[in-house]
Amino acid sequence: MTGYTPPTALPAWLVGDSELRAAAARHDFGTVFRLARKRAGISYSQIAAECDIKPDRVGTLARGRGEVATFEKIAQICDALRIPGRLVGLAERPWETGPHASVGAEVGEELLRRHFLGVAGLAATMPAFLARPSGRIGPAKVTCLRERTARLRRLDEVLGGGDTYRVYTAEYQATKKLLRDATYDEATGRALLSVLAEQAQQAGWAAFDGGREADATSLYEASRVAALDAGAPALVGNALAFLAYQRLGGDRRAGAEIASRSTDTIDGRTPASVRALLHERRAWACAVADLATEAERSLVAAHEALAEADGQPQPQPDWATWVDSTELDIMTGRCWAELRRPLRAVPVLEQALARYDDSHARDKALYSSWLAQAYLTAGEAEQAAVVTSRALALSDGVASVRPRRRLEPVLAELSAARYRALPAVVEVLEQARF
Spatial distance between the Cα atoms of 205 and 227, rounded to a whole number of angstroms:
16
Q: Domain boundary residue among 55, 87, 119? A: 87
Residue 401 has pLDDT above 80, yes or no: yes
Is 208 part of a structural domain of the chain? yes
Roughly how many angstroms between the first and final C-alpha of the chain, as a whole number?
40
Quick one: which of 237, 245, 180 has its CA closest to 208? 245
Residues 67 and 151 in one domain: no
Residue 122 inside a domain? The answer is no
For residues 34 and 123, give the distance between their C-alpha atoms in angstroms, rounded to a whole number: 21
Q: Which domain holds residue 370?
A: 348-433
Domain end: 200, 231, 262, which one? 231
What letter represents residue 365's amino acid? A
Q: Is residue 93 part of a domain?
A: no
Mean pLDDT of 409-416: 94
Are both 64 and 150 inside the same structural domain?
A: no
Among the ranges given (152-156, 188-192, 393-397), the one the predictor scored with the smallest mean pLDDT: 393-397
How far is it, in rounded angstroms, from Cα 359 to Cα 287? 28
Check residue 250 and give its pLDDT: 87
Which run of H or E residues covers position 53? none
pLDDT, position 398: 78
Q: Are 266 and 304 in contact (CB under 8 A)?
A: no
Closest to 37 in 3D by CA, of 4, 14, 66: 14
Question: According to DSSP H, which parts of 210-251 are helical?
Answer: 213-230, 233-247
Please check whether residues 142 and 226 belong to one and the same domain: yes
- Looking at the structure of the chain, the number of domains it has is 3
Assigned domain for 206 exists: yes
Residue 94 covered by a domain: no
Residues 118-151 as b/e (b if ≥16 CB within 10 A, e otherwise) read ebbeebbbeebeeebeeeebeeebbeebbebbee
Residue 372 within a domain: yes
- Asked if residue 302 belongs to a domain, the reply is no
Q: Is this prediction's pTM over 0.85?
A: no
Contact 86, 61 (CB under 8 A): no
Confidence tier at 171 by pLDDT (50, 70, 90):
very high
Q: What CATH number did the domain enclosing 79 receive?
A: 1.10.260
Centre a 10 Å sphere on the Cβ of residue 351 and count the other Cβ atoms it contains.
13
Whole-angstrom Cα Rg for the chain? 24
What confidence tier does 183 reach under pLDDT thresholds 50, 70, 90?
Answer: very high
- Compute the distance between CA of residue 328 and CA of residue 306 in angstroms, rounded to an integer: 9
Choose one of 87, 108, 126: the last residue of a domain.
87
CA distance 209 to 55: 18
Does 227 share its domain with 141?
yes
| Residue 421 within a domain | yes
